[in-house]
Amino acid sequence: MLKALDEERRPGRIRRIRRGATALGVAVAVGCGVVACESSLGEAAEGGMFRLGSDQPIDSLNPFVAVVSESFSVFQQIYPNLVQLGPGDRYVPEFATDWTTSRDGRTWTFHTHAGATWSDGRPLTAADAAWTLSTIKKFQDGPAASMASHVTGLVSATAPDARTVVLTYSRPVANVLTQVTSVPILPEHVWKKYAGGDGGALTTFTNSAPVVCGGPFTLVKYVPKQVALFRRNPEYYGTKPRIAGFGIQFFGTDDAMILALKSHQLDGVQNVPNTSVENLEAAGFEVVSSPGLSFDSLTVNANPKQRAAHRELADPRVREALDRAINRDEIVRTSLLGRGRPGSSIIPPGTAHWYDRTVTPTPYDPEAANRLLDQAGYRRGPGGVRIANGHPMRYPMILPDDTSSGYGLRSFQIVRSDFARIGVRLTPRLLDNAAANDALAADDSKEFTMSMWAWSGAASDPDDTLNYLTCRSWGTLNDTGYCGREWDRLYAEQGAAMDPAARRRIVDRMQRMAARQRILLVLDYADKIEAHSRSWTDLPLVGGESFSAESKIPLQSVRRAG
C-alpha cells in the first residue's frame, strides 16, 4: 500500500526535479550565453575585443619590480619605447621617428614624435625618455637592478629639447637598439616622486589601474592572477590599433586554456603545447609555428675543480662521447612530436639572423661514443656500467620543474636510454626551480653532475645568450661550471663591435667555440607555437609572438576577418 502510494507520487516529484534541473540548466546557459553576447557588445562596433589566454600571469605592473616576460609584453603595449622590433626582426621607429649614431659609436641621438600626450593629457616628450633611462642608470645597483642590462655603458641620457634624446656611452655599444627596445618610457610626472633618496619607493609603487599610459593601449582593468584588459588609446601618437581592445586571461593549466580556445571563450593562445597542435588544427584554428627563441640543453658540469667523484665529466673525451650518444632526431620526433629541430648552436634559429648554420647537430653515433670512452680507459664493470677513476659512471640528473612538467621528461628518458648504451647510468633528481638553482650553484658549482633545462634569449640580439656563459654570470645565470677568459674577451669584443659584419664574425666564432668545447649540449630547438581563431586576421608574429615584449605591431595590426 505504502509502495503504491509512493509510486503514485513519484511522477510529480520527477517533474519537480526535472523543473529544477531545467531551471538550473537555463540559469547556467543564460550565464554562458548572456555573458558571451555581452563580451562582444559595444566593442564589436569598434573592432572587437581580442581575447588571449596565457599560462603565465603578470607579476607586477611596475617595471622596476616585474621579472616575467608577460609583464614586459604588457609594458610594451601601454608605454612608449624609443624603437621596436618589426617583422623580419629589424628595428623600426616607435616613439623615436629616426635616430643617428656618432662616428665613434658613443653618442646616439633619437628624434621623437611631436605633440604626443599621455593618457592623462600631459605632454609626452623626449624628457620622459631621458628621465626613465637616467633613473635606471642611477639606481642600477639597487631598485633598478632588473633593468641594469638595458643601460650597459650608458653615461648620460639627456633631452636638449622636447623632441630629442641624446644617449652618451662610455664606449661603443653594439646593441643599443636592443637595449632601448626593452625600456618602457615612463611618465616622469607620475614616477618622479618615487625616485628620491635611495629610490626604494620605485619598487613599492604598485602602479595600479588606471595606469597613466602612452602606448597604443591603456590598461583599464587588472585583477592579479586573473586578467588584464586593455582599451585602444585614442591619444596614441602612432598607428591606432584596429581593435577596440584586448584582454589576457591567465590559466592554471594548459588543458583548460586550450579547451577555452576550442570553445571560443578565447580568440588566441600563446605557448600551445605540442600535444594540442593537431587537435586545434582539426578544429579549424590557425596554428602558427615559428623557430624557437629557446633551446633545451643538457649541462654536464664543466668545472675543472668539481668533486673527484665525477671529475671525469670535465674530460673533453667524455663530453664528446656523451654528445655523440644523444639521439637528437629521436628527441625531436618523440618529445617535440616533430615540432622543432635538433639542437646545435647556443644561439637558437629564432634569434634574428644570428644563428650560425655551420654549427650542425652532433650526429648520433653510439659506436663512436663507446670508442671514445674505451680510449679514455673507462672500461665496463658490473652491469655494463663503466668505471671511471675507481667509481661507476652513475650520475644524478637535475630535472627542474620547468623540464619535468613538460616534454622534458620524455627527452630525459631518451637521453637516459642513449647513455645506458654507452655504459653511463642516469638517475632523475626532480626538484622545483628554486631548489634546482641552489643544487646547481652548491659549493661553487662543484657538486652537481648534470642537469637539463631550457634557455631563452631575445628575438633580435644574441647578447643575452652569450652572457649566460660569462664568468660574471657565474652563480646567477651561468650554471654550467664553465668560466673562460677567451669567452669573456670575445663577449666584450662583440658588445663593442659597431660594424655588424665584424660583430657577426665574433658571434659566429663564439658559437663554434661553445659547440667545440661542448660547454652545453644543445638538444633541440622547440618551435614557438601560437594558435588563434580564424575570425581574426592580419596578426603578424614578431619574434614568434603576437603579445610581444619587443613589438607593438601585432596587436596594432590584428583585426576581425571579413
Partner 1 sequence: MRSLEYAVRRGIFTVVTVFLAVTLNFFLFRALPGSAVSNLARVPDSSPELQHALTVRFGLDRSEWDQYVLYLKNLLHGDLGVSFTYQRPVSHLLLSDLQNTVLLAGAGTLGAIALGVLSGVVAAWRRSSALDHLNTSLAILTYSFPAQWLGLVLLIVFAGVLPAGGMSDQFLFQSPPFWRHAADVAAHMALPAATLILTAYGGYTLVVRSSMLETLGQDYVLTARAKGLPDRRIVWRHAARNAMLPMVTMVALDLGFVVGGAVLVEVIFSWPGIGMATYTALSQRDYPMVQGCLLILTVSVILLNFLADLLCFRLDRRVTA
Query: For the range 469-475, what are the long-range contacts, defined as Cβ-Cβ under 8 Å and sequence gap of 24 or more?
Result: 469/346, 469/514, 469/519, 469/520, 474/445, 475/441, 475/444, 475/445
- By beta-carbon proximity to partner 1, the closer residue of 42 and 196 is 42
Handedness of CA 281, 287, 292, 293 (dihedral sign): negative
**Nearer to partner 1 (CB atom), residue 49 or residue 126:** 49
Write out the DSSP string of 351-383: STT---TTSPPPPP-HHHHHHHHHHTT--B-GG
CB of 490 vs partner 1, minimal distance in Å:
19
Is residue 466 within 8 A of residue 494, CB to CB? The reply is yes
Please report how close the Cβ of residue 274 comes to partner 1 at its closest, in angstroms: 18
CB-wise, 315 or 401, nearer to partner 1? Answer: 401
Q: Tell which residue, 300, 303, 319, 298, has the closest CA to residue 475.
A: 303
Cell of 16: 519537480
- Measured from the CB atom, is 107 or 405 closer to partner 1? 405
C-alpha cell at 149: 642590462
φ/ψ region of 109 (left if φ > 0, alpha if ψ in -120 to 50, else beta) reads: beta
Q: Where are the beta strands (DSSP E) in 61-135?
A: 83-86, 90-93, 96-101, 107-112
Copy the grid coordinates of residue 562. 571579413
Task: Work out how close the CB of 19 gets to partner 1 at its nearest, in angstroms, rounded to a whole number.
Answer: 17
Q: Are 257 and 53 in contact, with CB atoms under 8 Å apart?
A: yes
CB of 220: closest distance to partner 1 in angstroms? 6
**Please, what is the minimum distance in Å from the beta carbon of residue 10 to partner 1?**
11
Choose between 195 and 331: whose C-beta lies nearer to partner 1.
Answer: 195
When the beta carbons of 193 and 379 are compared against partner 1, the nearer one is 193
Tell me how far, at minimum, the Cβ of 356 lies from partner 1, in Å. Answer: 20
425-431 and 394-400 beta bridge pairing: parallel
Q: How far is the CB of 254 from partner 1 (least distance, A)?
A: 11
Residue 71 grid cell: 609583464
| C-alpha to C-alpha distance for 289 and 556, rounded to whole angstroms | 21
Per-residue b or e along 131-158, where b marks 16 or more CB atoms closer than 10 Å to that residue's CB: bbbbbbbebbeebbeebebbbbbbeebe
Which residue, 14 or 114, is less far from partner 1 as judged by CB? 14
- Whichever of 12 and 383 has its CB closer to partner 1, that residue is 12
Give me the torsion for CA of 133, 134, 140, 145, rounded to 10°.
-30
Q: Which is nearer to partner 1, 293 or 414 (CB)?
A: 293
Taking the complex as a whole, how short is the minimal distance between the CB of residue 378 and partner 1, in angstroms?
Answer: 31
